[in-house]
Amino acid sequence: MSSTTPFLPSTLPLIPLPPPQVLYPHLRVTLPLRPSHLAVVLSSIAENAQNQKIEDGARLVGVVPVVESERRIGRWACATAQPSTPSKSQTPEDLQPLETLRDRRAAELSRPARTAIDRELARLTKIPPQSAEYGVAKTYVEWLLALPWKRVTTLDTEVDLEQARKRLEEDHEGLEKVKRRVVEYLAVYRLKKQLYLEQLQKCKQISLPTSKGDGRAALDPSTADDLLELIPPTSERRRSKREMPLQWRARVLQTASFGTRDRSSSSSIARSLAASMGRKFHRISLGGVRDEAEIRGHRRTYVGALPGLLVQGLRKVGVSNPLILLDELDKVGTSNFHGDPSAALLETLDPAQNWTFHDHYLGDVPLDLSQVTFVATANTTDTISPPLLDRCEVIECSGYVMDEKVRIATRFLVPKQVKENGLTMDMVRIGEEAVLKVVTDYTREAGVRSLEREIGKLCRTKAVEYSSARDKGQLSDYNPEISVADVERILGVARFDQEVREEVHRPGVMTGLAYRGSGTGGILLIETTLVPGGKGRLVLTGSLGDVIKESAELGLTWVKAHAVQLGIVSHSHEDPLKDVDLHLHLPSGAVRKDGPSAGVGMVLAMVSLLTGRTVPSTLAVTGEVTLRGAVTAVGGIKEKVLGAHRAGITKVILPKRNFKDVQADLPQSMRTQMSFAYVGTIEEALEEVWGRDVWAVKGGARVEARL
């Protein structure tokens, strides 16, 4: 090295730079000769030291110039630091709060979480703080310490069922199925919790038979608010000393799916359920989620990785047994190159698996979700995958009836809108007649969102009138009452025409029932007529789908087969439609219609046309008909019957298999105001309309038609 000293400054940019300790003695000789290379030397030294900082721990602390005033010769001192690997006793200051928090929460952490935290903290003491991996590992430890592994909301065992039922009645109108299910859950929870506490008082340690292998008890190991250590037999205890906590499980309502047309009602039901149970509430919106990582999290190898929505929710509420609302479950994205989010929810909602839920961000640390009560909401179950739907207990929430909407508006919506618009109940009064006018003529929905908006318009108009009267000093002329005429003046012309039955029917016209798909139902006229000069064809109009067309063809086939018994023809070889065509039409041609539920109504309309008998205008019918003349069940009974009641129908013919739907879904007041006839065959439906006189042949229809 000494022989090449005079040439060192000129060759510095071309050769590798020696360590500073070796280079420093020669700099004192070369720098006075070639001061122009001073900047190159210093930058090369700094760059070399910076690279070695990452590779082998050598860290450049500083390059300090010392100027000798007499000789004015630049002298530079280069200092290096020791490798940045602190010992266990030399914990960085930013890690001390994490260790303190770990020690304080040691009893609340699960065993895998404690192991992972200790491992990562040990790694952090060996990683330079300037390294990117240092921040990743530190954030991971912070997430593990922030999760509520064993922290739960302690619920009162003396749950007052009457008080819970009263609270649900005060917060929600109708929805009897949901209220009944919530009360059932609370009752079962109280009984199981009391039984568990009694067993806990009797024993501190018990011995259980173990499964093969590791000596674990034959129970699902998981954590809970109260832990009971189960000690295996002595022979097995030597082989395995692992803790075996017994979890008390009261997940009667692990996952409930509220299928409703009104999102606000299903969300508010979940909030009321959480309040009745005394649990914390968290909402997760799944609408538009199309990446599996949104549910299960991202792996830590990605920049900016985070846990999934479930883990984030548990950290936010701070307990491991909250009530989590999975909103818009039916709008989860489909399978694509990002994965299938609905498939990621399978483990979450499965009680047999979710006690060891694995989030990608948490790695090999399982998270217990068994104490979480999941409530999912959906508008329809058609778009939910069958395996996911199989893990849910579906509770159907149908639309509100007219009377329920009026009560909801009077009790909740009107006071809410009055307050939001800066008014008081003395400044504006909306009577039931005005509310009924808004419900029937300005809204047509299953829920009450549009109804609330219309009431808000009424309140804002009265706010303007009140302010104007006060500015003019004419408050005595202000009228706070909103009448039916005021509703028409403020909201304008009615948007919907109320369905009203026809007063008189002619032969060939029958009133059917329709489900409109938006949580509402109504009546649907079925019109038939004969066209002379035809060839016995069946003409169908009214924007009909394939299923309803097949129902019409099937009904005509049945009528032709029983034409003699009905007195349409005198001999079986005669054609009832000889030289004529039968035209069947369903009004509202712009509205698409489909489904098999109009089958019975079509048969009755054809029989009415071909026999010349009229059908009472106060009677309506729904049901699917088979080729043998059997009447099978259909859906949407509640909505159809409510629509018929609004139209003035007093009697409804339904399939026998829909008897349970009437008893379960319709309120008692509706069942007393209307009469229902349940039939199992077309013959029974014909006799219900016209009596036994419908048969021209003594003895009625042929026996084989009833098979």
Q: Report the alpha-carbon distance of residue 400 to residue 175 in Å, rounded.
A: 8
Amino acid at 612: G
What count of other Cβ atoms lies within 10 Å of the Cβ of residue 485? Answer: 10
Q: Report the alpha-carbon distance of residue 417 to residue 423 in Å, rounded.
A: 9
495 is known to lie in a ligand binding site: no
Size of the chain in residues = 707
260 is known to lie in a ligand binding site: yes
The verdict on whether 597 is a catalytic residue reads yes
Cβ 367 vs Cβ 148: under 8 Å: no
* DSSP H or E stretch at residue 226: none
Residue found by looking up tokens 């006060």 in the block = 470
Geometric angle at alpha carbon 442, from 438 and 446, rounded to 5°: 90
Q: Report the alpha-carbon distance of residue 256 to residue 235 in Å, rounded.
A: 44
Four-CA torsion 480, 486, 489, 495, nearest 10 degrees:
130
Q: Report the alpha-carbon distance of residue 53 to residue 60 in Å, rounded.
A: 8
3 is known to lie in a ligand binding site: no
Which of 138, 597, 608, 638 is flagged as catalytic?
597
Q: Report the alpha-carbon distance of residue 382 to residue 389 in Å, rounded.
A: 10
Which residues fall within 8 angstroms of residue 624, CB to CB, at 6 or more apart? 551, 596, 597, 599, 600, 631, 632, 633, 634, 655
The token pair that represents 103 in the structure block: 């020690």
Q: Report the alpha-carbon distance of residue 234 to residue 623 in Å, rounded.
A: 68
Geometric angle at alpha carbon 594, from 589 and 597, rounded to 5°: 120
Q: Report the alpha-carbon distance of residue 299 to residue 65 in Å, rounded.
A: 47
Q: Report the alpha-carbon distance of residue 659 to residue 668 in Å, rounded.
A: 14
259 is known to lie in a ligand binding site: yes
The token pair that represents 68 in the structure block: 């000798």
461 is known to lie in a ligand binding site: no
Where does 284-381 have alpha helices with state H? 293-296, 309-317, 341-349
- 59 SS3 class: strand
Which of 462, 593, 638, 640 is flagged as catalytic?
640
DSSP string, 238-302: TT-----EEPP---TTSEEEEEES-HHHHHHHHHHHHHHHT--EEEEE-TT---THHHH---TTS
* Residues forming beta bridges with residue 66, ordered by sequence position: 75
CA distances from 675 to 184, 329, 406, 606 (A): 32, 38, 24, 24
333 is known to lie in a ligand binding site: no
Beta-sheet strands, E only, within 595-650:
619-621, 624-625, 631-632
* Residues forming beta bridges with residue 76, ordered by sequence position: 65
The verdict on whether 640 is a catalytic residue reads yes
The token pair that represents 1 in the structure block: 């090295």
Give the strand pairing for 373-378 and 509-515: unpaired
Q: Report the alpha-carbon distance of residue 370 to residue 350 in Å, rounded.
A: 9
What count of other Cβ atoms lies within 10 Å of the Cβ of residue 365? Answer: 22
463 burial type by CB count under 10 A (0-12 exposed, 13-18 middle, 19+ buried): middle
Q: Percent helix, strand and coil across the chain, each rounded to 5?
A: 45, 15, 40
Read off φ and ψ for residue 682, nearest 5 degrees.
Answer: -65, -40
368 is known to lie in a ligand binding site: no
Binding site feature residues for ATP: 259-267
Catalytic residues: 597, 640
